[in-house]
Amino acid sequence: MKSSIILCVFALAACTTESIYMKNERTGAVVKCGSPHANTLAEPAVQAREAQCIQDYKEQGYVRVPGP
């Protein structure tokens, strides 16, 4: 039982999210919101911070683009 819990924790820790790239069409500037990271108990806070980053840049005229 204990070993299966540890195995599940390591499996979940290996999961990552991708970075989101935003580009300002007027200036050509590209920025990155978020970065690949291990899923942790703080995941809701990380997702909220990334969503706020995206929203902040959208308000400045940036649009989402594919990564480099």
All structural domains of the chain with their residue ranges: 2-65
Band (pLDDT 50/70/90 cuts) for residue 2 is low
Over pLDDT 90: what percentage of the chain?
49
Cα end-to-end span (Å), the chain: 43
C-alpha distance from residue 68 to each of 21, 28, 39, 49, 59 (Å)? 8, 14, 23, 22, 22
Half-sphere exposure at residue 11, Cβ-oriented, CA atoms within 13 angstroms: 6
Average pLDDT of the residues in 31-48: 84
Average pLDDT of the residues in 48-64: 96
Give strand pairing partners of 65: 21
Q: What is the pLDDT of residues 8-39, one digit of tens each?
A: 444 444 445 678 999 999 999 999 998 877 77
Contact 40, 48 (CB under 8 A): no
Residues, the chain: 68
